[in-house]
Amino acid sequence: MNATDASCSGFPGEAPKLTTTFLRFSRIRECSRRSDSSRVNPLSIKNQQHQDLPESGRPAVAANLLLPTLFRATIYPMEQNPRGRCIIINNYEFHGDPEAYRAGSQLDVCRMAELFKAFLFEYTVHLNLTAEEMKTLLSEKAREEQQKAADCLVVVLMSHGDKDTIYGSDNEELPLGDIYEMFNNDNCPVLQGKPKLFFVQTCRGRKSDIGTAKYVAPDTADAARIPCSSASEPSARVASWLDMYICYASVPGYEAHRNTATGAWFLSAVYRVFSQYAHTMHLQKLMHRVNDEVTSQSTTDGCFQTPCNEDRGLRKELWFNPGLFKGPTA
C-alpha cells in the first residue's frame, strides 16, 4: 500500500494534528557579496522565530544563501529544490499476527513526512509492504535517472526487525545490508558523491538495556600512537561504499522503544532536534543531540535505549539548509 498525500489524514489510525513549534530559522548572512541578486530565489522569512505549522502543513521559510565554491570541498551541496527523494516505509500490520501491530507509528510517519517536506525533499509514504515489495521498490528508486539532479537521498524504514534485518508485512525478513548495497556506488551510480541517509526504526534484538551504575574513571595516559600507512596514488575509480550514513534506533541486539500514544523514542527525537537545530548544526552534530535525548529517557520499569550511527565514507559536513535553495539564473 502506497500513499503520497502530503497530509496525514490518509493514514490509518490518524495521528493528532501536529501543533508543536517547527523549524526555527535564523537569518543567514550571504557568504559572498553578489551584485546580481536575481541569482538568489528568496521567499518570505519570519525572522528568527519558531513558527507553528500553518494549516496547510507548509512552513513559510526561506532566506538568501548560495554556498561559496570555497566550501565545496568540505560541505555537501544542499541547494536544489527539491533536494531529492525521501522514501518512507512503515510496516505496522503483519499478516496473521494482530499482536505485532505497531501502534503509534502513524505519528512517526507524519513527523518524518512534515520534517523532510520542510527540508524541500519530495517524499513518498509506503505502508505495509512485504519483504519482496520493499526490495522491489527500493531497487527501482536506486535506478531512477531523475536522481541525477538530486543533492541527497533519505530513506526512513519503520517495522519490526532483528540485528541485521527488517521484517516485511508478510513476516519475512529482508537483510538491511541488501538495502544499503542497492544504493552504493556500484549499483546506484546516479548518486555517486551524494549523501545517502538511512533512518532505521526497528528493534535489533530482544535484549532490554536496564542500565548500569555511573562510574568516574581515573585519568589515564594517552593511547599509543598508531602510524598511518602512506596514502595511495589518485585513481579514476572510486570506492564502492562512500557518502552513506545510517542511523539506527538501537545498538545491535537490543530493543527500540515506541510509545503507542506519542511514537518511537528515536524518530520523535530526530523530529524535535532536526526541527530546532538544523539551521545551526550539520548532520553529525544533530545526531549527537538525538543520541543524548534518547539515552536520557527510560521506561517505567527502568529500561534504556541507545541509538547507533554508522558512517560509511561520509566525507563532508551535511547541512540541510532548511528553506534555502538555488534560484534561477537571470
**Residue 118 · residue 61 · CB < 8 Å:** yes
| β pairing state of 165-167 and 173-175 | antiparallel
Q: Is the pLDDT of residue 293 over 70?
A: yes
- Give the residue with greater pLDDT, 68 vs 283: 283
Residue 63 — pLDDT band, cuts 50, 70, 90?
A: very low
Cell numbers of 178, please?
Answer: 541488501
Q: Is the pLDDT of residue 227 over 70?
A: no
Query: What's the distance, CA 224 to chain centroid?
Result: 36
Average pLDDT over residues 93-112: 95
- Give the residue with greater pLDDT, 20 vs 269: 269
204: closest CA among 260, 256, 159, 247?
256
- Distance between CA atoms of residues 101 and 244, nearest Å: 31
Q: List CB contacts of 88: < 8 A, sequence separation 6 or more.
A: 109, 112, 113, 123, 124, 125, 126, 156, 158
Q: Is the pLDDT of residue 285 over 90?
A: yes
What is the DSSP annotation of 95-141?
A: TT-GGG--TTHHHHHHHHHHHHHHTT-EEEEEES--HHHHHHHHHHH
- Distance between CA atoms of residues 182 and 31, nearest Å: 37
Residue 215 — pLDDT band, cuts 50, 70, 90?
A: low
Domains and their CATH numbers in the chain? 2-8+69-209+242-312 (3.40.50.1460)
- Residue 226, by phi and psi: left (phi above 0), alpha (psi -120 to 50) or beta? beta
Residue 70 — pLDDT band, cuts 50, 70, 90?
A: low
Q: Is the pLDDT of residue 316 over 70?
A: yes
Query: What's the distance, CA 3 to chain centroid?
Result: 19
| Identity of the residue numbered 170 | D
Cell match 490509518: residue?
A: 12
Tell me the whole-structure pTM to 2 decimals: 0.76
Average pLDDT over residues 248-259: 94
- Give the residue with greater pLDDT, 67 vs 309: 309
- Distance between CA atoms of residues 98 and 102, nearest Å: 9
**Residue 307 · residue 296 · CB < 8 Å:** no
Q: Is the pLDDT of residue 91 over 60?
A: yes
- Residue 229, by phi and psi: left (phi above 0), alpha (psi -120 to 50) or beta? beta
Cell numbers of 3, please?
Answer: 500513499
Whole-number percent of the chain with pLDDT over 90: 63
| Identity of the residue numbered 293 | E
Report pLDDT digits (tens) over 115-154. 999 999 999 999 999 999 999 999 999 999 989 999 999 9
